[in-house]
């Protein structure tokens, strides 16, 4: 099919969306319908080549052989123009194939500043902002909506139309390794923020200028047993010792009210509730009875990645996250997930299995049609059938635009949370002699004179990270920071010794709450950040900009207090060192 050619009613933009959906659905064969129910990764690069590192077939083969047209993009281009050109090439290939169903490209978050190389590669040319915890520290739905609007413009420019975010789980279990992607511990604050987030990405009503948000992880993935994560078998159990399921639902109710059209359940297996004890992607009690029937959600439900198929990641076996249904075969798992109410299988490629179930009559085509209708409706609402291509010159001008970058830097600085400031040591005076750790010399040079030992310094600046236990069990488990929140004794003693030798300012990156263990008394000032560059932090330390953040969660006093708390109940650790909302100003 050539561009702008109208041969069938579904290609006619003047018709009502439901008419177009009906027409296209009537023309789709079984393979077309099955392909739509799969949403997996695609690699940036030559779309005719596979990615053996991640086991990803070529984009061309997935489009043509598996009839797939929903892809989560892995990797990034060096600039907006090249990114847009790649997106256009993929759309052009899909346009020429079969019914010409356009590609929906999705992405994980790309805008957070990080010194993690993997995260930085994903960020690529986009403007850089704090992680979502930083927006929780700012506690401004309006400012978050502004971020969403900028991210929307950058995504749109390169053809990214679905955001696999926001993550609105609640950080009620302080040890959980995915807290850095949340808006913190408060259901009320998270509910306010998610409305601004969705509005920013939607840009008004869902339409041609929108990015659809896939809200996750329903019904709230925060209360994991011992803070472990259900990406892994050892962390599959989700528990509610305080019976606080309703508290964790509040942000999702707000998201649905704000117009969210896509939802992702988490991997967790609820234990000790009135829900069936199977992972949420297989859980009819949760996805149909709760999400659709009680909460009235009518949009798309896409599973988290890898519920059906055992795989290998980074050289380590990675079993399917089929918690509670491990005994079922892959086709049986598929049937159970469809019966539970899912519309798409995330991260899966087994279209042949679903075609087999369809041919055998185990799954009816009418069941597929329910999900395909939702998926087609979203594509039409986003304008993908009518305007699948992006302007490459526009992408070059918009992605990483100077004013967007400046707003991101300002947000990084403003989100910093000043916990202590003994004797008003901050802001520092320019030109002082500084012993620094974790700060790039070139960034510091504009503010102070660097010295090599604490004894030579007027002040020490130490940029450190919240502690965690090294629990590398292969694969990508090392990327999940879990276990103790207390600093190892040797590291704690080292930091205390520096603080005794010279007035010390500690900036601690909080991807989870940290037990400071007295560092707040040893150091003259303690600052928290949630993803901030050296430039963003130094602007605040030297008074160019003041800290405006407030803690998005309690900072527990000890690991023992965390163990004694209830993992689903907010603000439940005894006598925290600093409470939610704490933050000094100058």
Residues 13 and 161 in one domain: yes
What is the full DSSP assignment across 274-301? SS-SS-GGG-HIIIIIIIIIIT---SEE
Q: How many helices (H) and strands (E) does the chain have?
A: 20, 18
Which element (helix H / strand E) includes 217? Answer: strand 212-218
Per the structure, the complete domain to which residue 459 belongs is given by: 417-547
Tell me how crowded residue 118 is: count the other CB atoms within 10 A of its CB: 10
Residues near 544 by Cβ (< 8 Å), separated by ≥ 6?
none
What is the full DSSP assignment across 476-519? TGGGS-BS--BPPHHHHHHHHHHHHHS-EEEEEE-SS--B-TTH
Q: What is the CATH number of the domain that holds 317?
A: 3.20.20.300
Residues near 391 by Cβ (< 8 Å), separated by ≥ 6?
84, 157
Residues 374 and 423 in one domain: no
Nearest residue to 173 (alpha-carbon basis) of 400, 451, 485, 471: 485
Entry pTM: 0.96
Nearest residue to 525 (alpha-carbon basis) of 540, 544, 511: 540
Structure tokens at 216: 């996750």
What are the Cα distances from residue 273, in Å, to 240, 241, 277? 7, 9, 8
Q: What is the CATH number of the domain that holds 464?
A: 3.40.50.1700
Number of domains in the chain: 2
Nearest residue to 574 (alpha-carbon basis) of 560, 514, 487: 560
Neighbouring-strand partners of residue 54: none
Is the residue at 34 inside a domain? yes
Tell me how crowded residue 92 is: count the other CB atoms within 10 A of its CB: 15
pLDDT for the residue numbered 2:
53
Owner of token pair 């690529």: 124
Is the residue at 274 inside a domain? yes
Residues 437 and 333 in one domain: no
Question: 234-256: string of b/e by CB count within 10 Å (b at 16+)?
Answer: ebbbbbbebebbebbbbbbbbbb
Is the residue at 569 inside a domain? no
Cis before 325? omega within 30: no
> HSE of 161 in the Cβ direction (CA atoms, 13 Å)?
27
Residues 335 and 192 in one domain: yes
Residues 393 and 429 in one domain: no
What are the Cα distances from residue 141, in Å, to 77, 135, 189? 30, 9, 9
> Which one-letter DSSP state was computed for residue 109?
-
* 8 A C-beta contact, residue 542 and residue 447: yes
Residues 91 and 149 in one domain: yes
Residues 55 and 125 in one domain: yes
pLDDT for the residue numbered 3:
63
Residues 72 and 129 in one domain: yes
Is the residue at 391 inside a domain? yes
Distance CA 383, CA 375 (A): 13
Q: Which of 192, 229, 304, 534 is catalytic?
A: 304
Kindly give the pairing relationship between strand 38-43 and strand 504-509. Answer: unpaired
Residues 458 and 517 in one domain: yes
Distance CA 59, CA 92 (A): 12
The domain boundary, picked from 547, 565, 581, lies at 547
Is the residue at 475 inside a domain? yes
The region, left, alpha or beta by phi > 0 then psi within -120 to 50, assigned to residue 312 is beta
Q: Is there a catalytic annotation at residue 115?
A: no
Is the residue at 579 inside a domain? no
Q: What is the pLDDT along the chain (586 residues), one digit of tens a residue?
A: 556 678 999 999 999 999 999 999 999 999 999 999 999 999 999 999 988 777 889 999 999 999 999 999 998 899 999 999 999 999 999 999 899 999 999 999 999 987 655 554 567 899 999 999 999 999 999 999 999 999 999 999 999 999 999 999 999 999 999 999 999 999 999 999 999 999 999 998 999 999 999 999 999 999 999 999 999 999 999 999 999 999 999 999 999 999 999 999 999 999 999 999 999 999 999 999 999 999 999 999 999 999 999 988 767 788 999 999 999 999 999 999 999 999 999 999 999 999 999 999 999 999 999 999 999 999 999 999 999 999 999 999 999 999 999 999 999 999 999 999 999 999 999 999 999 999 999 999 999 999 999 999 999 999 999 999 987 777 777 788 889 999 999 999 999 999 999 999 999 999 999 999 999 999 999 999 999 999 999 999 999 999 999 999 999 999 999 999 999 999 999 999 999 999 999 9
Distance CA 88, CA 485 (A): 46
* 8 A C-beta contact, residue 61 and residue 377: no
Is the residue at 123 inside a domain? yes
Is the residue at 316 inside a domain? yes
Residues 383 and 525 in one domain: no
Residues 143 and 179 in one domain: yes
* 8 A C-beta contact, residue 567 and residue 227: yes
Structure tokens at 501: 């030798």
The domain boundary, picked from 354, 369, 398, lies at 398
Residues 433 and 288 in one domain: no
């Amino acid at each position: 099919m050539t561009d702008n050619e109208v041969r069938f009613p579904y290609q006619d933009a003047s018709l009502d969306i439901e008419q177009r959906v009906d027409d296209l659905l009537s023309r789709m064969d079984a393979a077309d319908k099955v392909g739509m129910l799969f949403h997996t990764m695609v690699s940036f690069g030559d779309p005719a080549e596979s990615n053996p590192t991640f086991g990803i077939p070529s984009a061309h083969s997935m489009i043509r052989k598996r009839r797939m047209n929903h892809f989560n993009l892995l990797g990034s281009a060096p600039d907006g123009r090249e990114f847009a050109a790649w997106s256009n090439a993929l759309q052009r290939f899909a346009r020429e194939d079969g019914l010409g169903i356009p590609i929906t490209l999705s992405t994980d978050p790309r805008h957070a500043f990080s010194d993690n190389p993997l995260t930085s590669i994903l960020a690529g040319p986009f403007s850089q902002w704090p992680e979502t915890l930083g927006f929780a520290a700012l506690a401004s739905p309006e400012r978050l909506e502004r971020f969403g609007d900028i991210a929307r413009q950058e995504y749109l420019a390169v053809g990214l139309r679905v955001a696999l975010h926001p993550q609105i789980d609640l950080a009620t279990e302080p040890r959980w390794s995915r807290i850095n992607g949340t808006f913190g511990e408060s259901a009320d604050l998270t509910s306010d923020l998610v409305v601004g987030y969705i509005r920013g990405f939607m840009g008004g009503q869902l339409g041609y200028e929108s990015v659809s948000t896939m809200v996750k992880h329903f019904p709230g993935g925060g209360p994991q047993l011992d803070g472990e994560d259900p990406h892994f078998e050892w962390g599959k159990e989700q528990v509610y010792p305080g019976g606080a399921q309703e508290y964790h639902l509040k942000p999702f109710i707000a998201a649905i009210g704000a117009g969210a059209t896509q939802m992702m359940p988490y991997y967790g297996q609820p234990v000790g509730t009135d829900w069936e004890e199977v992972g949420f992607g297989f859980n009819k009690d949760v996805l149909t009875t709760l999400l659709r029937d009680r909460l009235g959600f009518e949009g798309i439900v896409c599973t988290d990645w890898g519920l059906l198929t055992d795989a290998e990641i980074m050289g380590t076996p990675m079993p399917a996250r089929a918690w509670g249904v491990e005994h079922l075969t892959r086709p049986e798992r598929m049937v159970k997930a469809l019966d539970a109410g899912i519309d798409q299988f995330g991260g899966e490629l087994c279209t042949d299995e679903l075609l087999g179930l369809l041919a055998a009559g185990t799954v009816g085509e009418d069941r597929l049609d329910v999900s395909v209708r939702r998926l087609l409706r979203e594509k039409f609402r986003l304008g993908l059938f009518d305007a699948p291509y992006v302007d490459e010159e526009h992408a070059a001008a918009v992605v990483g635009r100077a004013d967007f970058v400046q707003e991101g830097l300002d947000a990084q600085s403003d989100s910093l949370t000043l916990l202590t400031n003994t004797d008003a040591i901050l802001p520092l005076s320019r030109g002082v002699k500084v012993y620094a750790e974790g700060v790039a010399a070139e960034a510091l040079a504009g503010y102070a004179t660097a010295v090599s030992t604490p004894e030579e310094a007027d002040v020490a600046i130490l940029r450190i990270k919240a502690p965690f236990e090294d629990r590398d069990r292969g694969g990508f488990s090392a990327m999940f920071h879990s276990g103790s929140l207390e600093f190892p004794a040797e590291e704690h003693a080292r930091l205390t010794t520096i603080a005794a030798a010279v007035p010390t300012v500690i900036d601690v990156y909080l991807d989870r709450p940290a037990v400071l263990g007295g560092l707040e008394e040893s150091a003259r000032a303690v600052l928290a950040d949630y993803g901030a560059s050296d430039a963003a932090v130094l602007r605040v330390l030297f008074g160019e900009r003041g800290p405006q953040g407030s803690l998005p969660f309690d900072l527990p006093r000890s690991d023992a207090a965390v163990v004694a708390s209830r993992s689903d109940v907010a603000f439940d650790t005894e006598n925290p060192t600093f409470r939610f909302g704490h933050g000094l100003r100058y």
